[in-house]
Chains A and B, each alone.
Chain A
Amino acid sequence: DAKTTQPPSMDCAEGRAANLPCNHSTISGNEYVYWYRQIHSQGPQYIIHGLKNNETNEMASLIITEDRKSSTLILPHATLRDTAVYYCIVRDAGGTSYGKLTFGQGTILTVHP
């Protein structure tokens, strides 16, 4: 599985966009990029996933570079409740690793007033 690199922490002002980067330079062609977040030791929450096209849902946008070696999760208008640990995970969606997620250290995002 491709390894991901994320900054350990980031700050963002409330109401501003939060842009969380993730490097995955060894990603292979059939591996997806997933984003989850974990608020204060609650169960992680799925945010979004993508293969090569940019994706948007009600929570966030996912921008994947053309070479797929990095991606950015964008929270367009961060609120205090978005303070959490954000995990970028790269994983093959099928085969023997089907659905198995490997969580790293993630990025601690702190949204301040």
Chain B
Amino acid sequence: EADIYQTPRYLVIGTGKKITLECSQTMGHDKMYWYQQDPGMELHLIHYSYGVNSTEKGDLSSESTVSRIRTEHFPLTLESARPSHTSQYLCASTLTGYEQYFGPGTRLTVT
């Protein structure tokens, strides 16, 4: 079993609130990723990091931001949540690039 954790698992929040989705891994992986997936739709890469102080935008434009201050921690922040941000957010990490370990995801609903 992969040791990658996401909290909260479910979040319902009102429009305009600031939220942070947490992602942590205990495997010492340098590379971490955030994906977004709407129900029944494809996963899209929105952010990635190759190590501490490294963050890049992914293939899908997102209003969220990320930080990587510690190897094990890769939080995602939305400064002002909107209903269009309602989605599932999945975090992943890898050491080699071949085998990515995914967390259980956070289901975000913005009302």
Contacts and interface: CB of A to CB of B under 8 A. Distances in A.
Nearest to A49: B98
Interface stretch (A5-13, A14-22, A74-82, A95-103): A95-103
A38 B104 CA distance: 11
B104 A43 contact: yes
Contacts of B105: 41-43
Interface string B28-65: 00010101010100111100101000000011000000
B108 to A, nearest CB: 13
Which secondary structure dominates where chain B touches chain A?
strand
Which secondary structure dominates where chain A touches chain B?
loop
Given A41-B88, A43-B90, A43-B105, A99 B100 contact: yes
Contact of B97 (A45, A99, A103): A99
A44 B43 contact: yes
Given A99-B33, A100-B58, A101-B45, A49 B50 contact: no
Contact of A93 (B39, B42, B90, B98): B98
B99 A49 contact: yes
Contacts of A32: 98
A102 B45 contact: yes
B72 to A, nearest CB: 17
A31 B25 CA distance: 27
Contact of A101 (B39, B50, B100, B101): B100
Interface of A: 32, 34, 36, 38, 41-46, 49, 93-94, 98-105
Sort A-B residue pairs by CB-CB distance and give the 3 closest, nearest first.
A43-B102, A99-B97, A103-B43
22 contacts: A36-B100, A42-B104, A43-B90, A43-B103, A44-B90, A44-B102, A45-B102, A46-B98, A46-B100, A49-B98, A93-B97, A93-B98, A98-B50, A98-B97, A99-B97, A99-B98, A100-B48, A102-B45, A102-B59, A103-B35, A103-B43, A105-B42
Given A41-B37, A43-B104, A46-B98, 19 more contacts: A42-B105, A43-B102, A44-B90, A49-B99, A93-B98, A98-B31, A98-B97, A99-B31, A99-B33, A99-B48, A99-B97, A99-B98, A99-B100, A101-B100, A102-B45, A102-B59, A103-B35, A103-B44, A105-B42
